[in-house]
Structure 1
């Protein structure tokens, strides 16, 4: 996820940032500017010629840094989206918990991050759906914790990513437990969570499925169990005087990528095909969020 219900009250300092000034990712080399999409871009952004994009540092396969190069599904989407709009992508790799506050502070125009669309988030930003995901428990293969659903956390120490919907899901489940000793920890990164697992501080970490898969690729002693929550994820759009136009432009750009085949190519390249959507949907203040499985 990894997106995904509360976010930090202030922007955490950007730990990694990169401005990409050339072409789009190899996963979407065929993408070109599309006039009918570019015409939807707000005048101020079109005249500046730059799309300021936040990409939370979620890790493989969604967003990560390989040497000095940003890679991952979100990075490929960000570059392709800007290209279709006829803009230069200015991409900043930031902590997940700083994404929405960054939009509110006018640091970015849009933010990726696999956000679940919630009533709370719709109070401050708009959303355009672009992918779908669900959550699983990351745990040690040698563990006998048997974490398959939220009720299985009772009596155990578990954790989630700071600012994620998974963390909120865990916190909501705790009061329903009758067994003593149920604790929930917050981790700033997946690597911190894996360290906690390997040291025995937690029995499991609830995380988006793609993040869990990448962790398992890196550590064969890990496994992922359960299919919890799930539903459409979205790009967040800054709410301001031209957000209606930006919502329309982002939606049209994604649908152009879907129709051209570039969307499917990006997912295939990043091994995220399981989360493909057929179209994009806009959610604004007062809209009814999608129904999620949690």
Structure 2
């Protein structure tokens, strides 16, 4: 773990378990949106293509469940959201010349709230699936799979998905992992499976840490983080190195908000092309999950 990440993790991760602004006009780079060194600068053309309502408001509001380190979680002050997604939001805002604000909300209702206009989008490690594409469009920014997280020591001897049959397992409501568990349970036969559906990821971790469930299904980045971070590795481990059903994380926006979707995709592509995206991934030790192109609905 790098010193930077160790410092960030130490200030924020305990809270997970217990529970930028516009650039100046003279920084504008008309072609490409980024300067030759990869410094994030405003792209005036992209800014002007943002929906009028967003420009008038002066910010883009993205809902998140900030309990998923290292993707999105609270700093020591209990209010500031940090993590890779938070850094990405800031960089996208710099390219677009507008503040991108992450607002805490419920994961399982996030898409409905975006469709209702409460938020402009979702940035919360949300897997882009065909089912979710019926409600929203996704600007895909990360590739990863699902891992099995167990208590340190793995007393239940869980090493693969079939071993979850006959066990009690926790999942956050509305997640792709909840869908996975339901599919697995359908094949368990008489052994069955008890699934605890909880409001936040922090709730699932508390159940695992206290032995009320045998395992939690999580995306690999947060599961690996918990298994290796010095603050949590005494409590959690990966059942194996296997990643299941690899897919794409996407920023979800309303189906009819094509202007915002296309601006976010273009801004992400500029971050990828400049190397800024790779720098952010490296900062959070997520380089293995990089995408090479900003796509829409690639899940």
Q: Smaller-chain TM-score range?
A: 0.7 to 0.9
**Which of residues 40, 43, 50 in structure 2 aligns to 1:34?**
43
Q: Hey, what's the Cα distance between the residues in 1 that align with 2:225 and 2:97?
A: 33
Change (3 A) 1:85 1:201: same
The reply on whether 1:221 has 2:230 as its aligned counterpart is: no
Change (3 A) 1:104 1:221: same
* Aligned position for 1:62: 71
CA positional deviation for 1:165: 0.5
Superposed, 1:38-57 pairs within 5 Å as 38-57=47-66
**Which of residues 152, 156, 162 in structure 2 aligns to 1:151?**
162
Change (3 A) 1:174 1:181: closer
Q: Hey, what's the Cα distance between the residues in 1 that align with 2:94 and 2:222?
A: 27
SS at match of 1:146: coil
Superposed, 1:130-279 pairs within 5 Å as 130-216=141-227, 217=229, 218-219=231-232, 220-225=234-239, 226-240=242-256, 243-279=257-293
Change (3 A) 1:194 1:84: same
Is the contact between residue 255 and residue 279 of structure 1 (CA under 8 Å) also seen in structure 2?
Answer: yes
* Aligned position for 1:17: none
Is the contact between residue 113 and residue 119 of structure 2 (CA under 8 Å) also seen in structure 1?
Answer: yes
SS at match of 1:207: strand
Question: Would you identify which runs of 4 or more consecutive aligned residues in structure 1 move more than 4 Å?
Answer: 20-23
SS at match of 1:186: strand
* Aligned position for 1:12: none
Change (3 A) 1:251 1:90: same
Aligned CA-pair RMSD? 2.2
Q: Hey, what's the Cα distance between the residues in 2 that align with 1:55 and 1:83?
A: 20
Is the contact between residue 55 and residue 92 of structure 1 (CA under 8 Å) also seen in structure 2?
Answer: yes
Change (3 A) 1:154 1:179: farther
Is the contact between residue 60 and residue 100 of structure 2 (CA under 8 Å) also seen in structure 1?
Answer: yes
Change (3 A) 1:211 1:267: same
Change (3 A) 1:196 1:249: same
Q: Hey, what's the Cα distance between the residues in 1 that align with 2:254 and 2:65?
A: 15
Q: Which has the higher helix share?
A: 2
Q: Hey, what's the Cα distance between the residues in 2 that align with 1:194 and 1:109?
A: 29
Superposed, 1:110-129 pairs within 5 Å as 110-129=121-140
Is the contact between residue 139 and residue 265 of structure 2 (CA under 8 Å) also seen in structure 1?
Answer: yes
* Aligned position for 2:31: none
Query: Which blocks of at least 5 consecutive residues in structure 2 are unaligned?
Result: 1-19, 24-37
Superposed CA offset, 1:80-138 (max 9, x none)? 11221111223212232232122012111121122222232112111110111211111
Q: How many residues align?
A: 260
Change (3 A) 1:53 1:208: same
SS at match of 1:237: strand
Is the contact between residue 185 and residue 192 of structure 2 (CA under 8 Å) also seen in structure 1?
Answer: no
